[in-house]
């Protein structure tokens, strides 16, 4: 079973590496670095305004640490067929599950280190905690996460959903108490408490597993749910075959579609707009990137940095929409329409231009609250110039090159 785990882990890493080339593309990374720089600039300015200890600082840190603790789930990499083919190997499955539990701890541990590092300046300025207390908090968080993964393993042998929910709430209550002791007393006491809890779990759980029955369907369902969340995140940047699009009527958008009816020159414009509105893949991708870009721009205090970031997000959205141009290539009837292919290119160009203009307007509304009128005007000029250059020059040239 350990060999099976290693094989699936290699396949999983290979798949994630393939998608990482699309997720961490150069333009997105530039936007991320700009956002981090702007956020660090605002964070530093905020810290300069704090001259005394704040009573609400420790409760805020406690809430943030509990939120970070919820990051990361038990990654079993189980598949639907395992409910049949691995059923005879259920007694040997525990070694596979333990390997999955150990692997699932690495990513949350890295997230804990990054978050505690980001909180360290605020912690030193706004509380009486020493710099070294972050090390103790890191140990407490990792131990709590390890205990949470043990409980998730135990839950895969439990056939009572209500019992699983009670255990989950009990864990967060205990975690809140241990973190509170670490913040208000000392992290050393928190480490002592979490070590005691960890030993109690490691004594209790193996005895429960000896007579329990593994809940195959629930475990596979949880893993599919975890991977679905990951694929949805990746789908922000590229197509994911594991996500199948659905069709929705969306009758409230019919007035927009009616604008294209009755015109031969607008045949492809009608088809593209209808497919875009009634599908979920490209419409969802567009809306998610639109919201993500607006949220990032809200936290950027410098208008010129926001303008560059907004232009990058315009490029990202337009680039993700380019495969949509080929969506009717497999439809034989689309090739029989008495409409020139130039009309198809022009219709797609107008669709992308309209979507990017809507995106630029949303970005402009967001920036209006964080800038002067002159800065806002310059931001609008930059965004409109980006829309024009992308839709009139770059994207048409790229589509012609891909033919």
pLDDT tens for residues 223-246?
999 998 888 888 777 767 776 656
Highest mean pLDDT: which of 213-222, 264-273, 315-324?
A: 213-222
Q: Which of 71, 82, 262, 65 is nearest to 177 (CA)?
A: 65
| Per-residue pLDDT at 305 | 84
| 272 domain residue, yes or no | yes
Shared domain check, 264 and 229: no
Alpha-carbon separation of residue 187 from 105, 138, 182, 193, 201 (angstroms)? 21, 9, 4, 10, 21
Instruction: Convert the pLDDT of each residue in 39-93 to its tens digit.
Output: 888 888 888 888 888 889 999 999 999 999 998 899 999 999 988 888 888 888 8
- What 118-124 contacts at long range (C-beta under 8 Å, 24+ apart), as own/partner pairs, is 119/61, 119/64, 121/43, 121/47, 122/43, 122/47, 122/50, 122/57, 122/61, 123/57, 123/61
Instruction: Convert the pLDDT of each residue in 328-357 to its tens digit.
Output: 766 666 666 666 767 778 888 888 999 999
Shared domain check, 190 and 132: yes
Shared domain check, 25 and 150: yes
Shared domain check, 14 and 83: yes
Looking at the predicted structure, is the pLDDT value of residue 141 above 90?
A: yes
The alpha-helical segments, DSSP class H, found in 238-280 are 254-258, 267-278
| Per-residue pLDDT at 243 | 67
| 201 domain residue, yes or no | yes
- Spatial separation of the C-alpha atoms in residues 184 and 23, rounded to whole Å: 40
Looking at the predicted structure, is the pLDDT value of residue 381 above 60?
A: yes
Contact 133, 123 (CB under 8 A): yes
- Using pLDDT thresholds of 50, 70 and 90, give the confidence band for residue 264: low
Q: What percent of the chain has pLDDT over 90?
A: 39
Alpha-carbon separation of residue 244 from 17, 80, 90, 232, 235 (angstroms)? 21, 17, 32, 11, 11
Q: Record the tokens describing residue 80, joined without a space.
A: 């639907």
- Using pLDDT thresholds of 50, 70 and 90, give the confidence band for residue 30: confident
Highest mean pLDDT: which of 178-182, 204-208, 249-253, 394-398?
A: 178-182
| 154 domain residue, yes or no | yes
pLDDT (mean) for 367-393: 91
- Spatial separation of the C-alpha atoms in residues 308 and 38, rounded to whole Å: 12
| Per-residue pLDDT at 329 | 67
pLDDT (mean) for 9-13: 93
Q: What is the rounded average pLDDT for all residues in the chain?
A: 85
Shared domain check, 327 and 381: yes
Contact 80, 220 (CB under 8 A): yes
* Residues contacting residue 91 through CB under 8 Å, at least 6 positions apart: none
Contact 142, 109 (CB under 8 A): yes
Instruction: Convert the pLDDT of each residue in 193-227 to its tens digit.
Output: 999 999 998 888 888 887 788 889 999 999 999 99
| 239 domain residue, yes or no | no
Shared domain check, 266 and 216: no
Contact 13, 107 (CB under 8 A): no
End residue of a domain, out of 175, 205, 234: 234
Q: How many CA atoms lie within 13 A of 156 on its CB side?
A: 25
| Per-residue pLDDT at 45 | 84
Shared domain check, 294 and 196: no
Domain containing residue 343: 251-402
Shared domain check, 310 and 192: no
| Per-residue pLDDT at 150 | 92
Instruction: Convert the pLDDT of each residue in 118-130 to its tens digit.
Output: 999 999 899 988 8
| 244 domain residue, yes or no | no
| 78 domain residue, yes or no | yes
Q: Which of 224, 211, 212, 210 is nearest to 83 (CA)?
A: 224
| 95 domain residue, yes or no | yes
- Using pLDDT thresholds of 50, 70 and 90, give the confidence band for residue 273: confident
Shared domain check, 188 and 95: yes
What is the domain count for the chain? 2
End residue of a domain, out of 169, 204, 234: 234
Q: Record the tokens describing residue 232, joined without a space.
A: 């949805």
Alpha-carbon separation of residue 289 from 32, 237, 247 (angstroms)? 13, 9, 20
Shared domain check, 257 and 214: no
- Stronger pLDDT, 234 or 178, i.e. the higher one: 178
Other Cβ atoms less than 10 A from the Cβ of 19: the count is 17
End residue of a domain, out of 200, 234, 268: 234
- Using pLDDT thresholds of 50, 70 and 90, give the confidence band for residue 380: very high
96-105, 239-248, 287-296: least confidently modelled range: 239-248
Looking at the predicted structure, is the pLDDT value of residue 281 above 70?
A: yes
| Per-residue pLDDT at 39 | 80
Q: How many CA atoms lie within 13 A of 238 on its CB side?
A: 14
pLDDT (mean) for 85-106: 89
pLDDT (mean) for 150-167: 86
Radius of gyration of the chain (CA): 26
SS3 content of the chain, % helix, strand, coil (to 5): 80, 0, 20
- Using pLDDT thresholds of 50, 70 and 90, give the confidence band for residue 115: very high
Looking at the predicted structure, is the pLDDT value of residue 260 above 70?
A: no
- Spatial separation of the C-alpha atoms in residues 318 and 395, rounded to whole Å: 8
42-46, 98-102, 364-368: least confidently modelled range: 42-46
- Using pLDDT thresholds of 50, 70 and 90, give the confidence band for residue 19: confident
Shared domain check, 221 and 296: no
Buried b (16+ CB within 10 A) or exposed e, 269-285: bbbbbbbbbbbebbbbb
Shared domain check, 287 and 219: no
| 60 domain residue, yes or no | yes
């Amino acid at each position: 079973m350990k060999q099976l785990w290693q094989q699936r882990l290699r396949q999983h890493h290979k798949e994630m590496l393939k998608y990482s080339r699309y997720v961490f593309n150069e333009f997105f990374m530039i936007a991320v670095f700009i956002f981090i720089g702007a956020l660090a600039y605002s964070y530093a300015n905020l810290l300069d305004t704090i001259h005394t200890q704040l009573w609400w600082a420790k409760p805020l840190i406690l809430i943030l640490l509990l939120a970070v603790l919820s990051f990361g789930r038990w990654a079993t990499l189980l598949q639907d067929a395992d409910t049949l083919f691995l059923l005879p190997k259920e007694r040997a499955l525990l070694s596979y599950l333990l390997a999955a539990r150990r692997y699932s701890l690495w990513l949350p541990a890295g997230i804990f280190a990054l978050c505690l590092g980001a909180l360290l300046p605020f912690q030193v300025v706004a509380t009486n905690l020493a710099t070294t207390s972050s090390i103790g908090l890191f140990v407490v968080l990792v131990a709590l996460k390890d205990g949470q993964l043990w409980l998730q393993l135990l839950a895969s042998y439990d056939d009572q959903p209500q019992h699983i929910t009670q255990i989950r709430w009990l864990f967060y209550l205990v975690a809140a108490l241990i973190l509170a002791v670490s913040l208000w007393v000392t992290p050393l006491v928190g480490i002592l408490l979490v070590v005691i809890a960890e030993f109690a779990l490691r004594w209790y759980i193996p005895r429960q597993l000896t007579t329990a029955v593994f809940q195959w369907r629930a475990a596979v369902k949880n893993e599919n749910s975890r991977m679905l969340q990951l694929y949805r995140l990746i789908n922000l940047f590229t197509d994911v075959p594991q996500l199948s699009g659905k069709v929705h009527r969306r009758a409230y958008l019919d007035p927009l579609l009616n604008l294209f009816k009755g015109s031969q020159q607008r045949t492809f414009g009608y088809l593209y707009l209808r497919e875009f509105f009634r599908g979920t893949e490209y419409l969802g991708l567009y809306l998610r990137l639109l919201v993500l870009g607006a949220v990032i721009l809200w936290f950027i205090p410098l208008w010129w940095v926001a303008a560059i970031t907004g232009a990058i997000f315009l490029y990202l959205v337009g680039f993700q929409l380019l495969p949509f141009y080929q969506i009717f290539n497999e439809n034989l009837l689309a090739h029989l329409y008495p409409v020139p292919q130039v009309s198809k290119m022009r219709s797609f160009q107008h669709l992308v231009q309209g979507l990017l203009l809507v995106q630029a307007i949303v970005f402009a509304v967001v920036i209006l609250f964080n800038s002067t009128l002159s800065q806002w005007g310059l931001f609008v000029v930059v965004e409109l110039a980006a829309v024009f250059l992308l839709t009139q020059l770059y994207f048409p040239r790229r589509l012609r090159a891909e033919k």
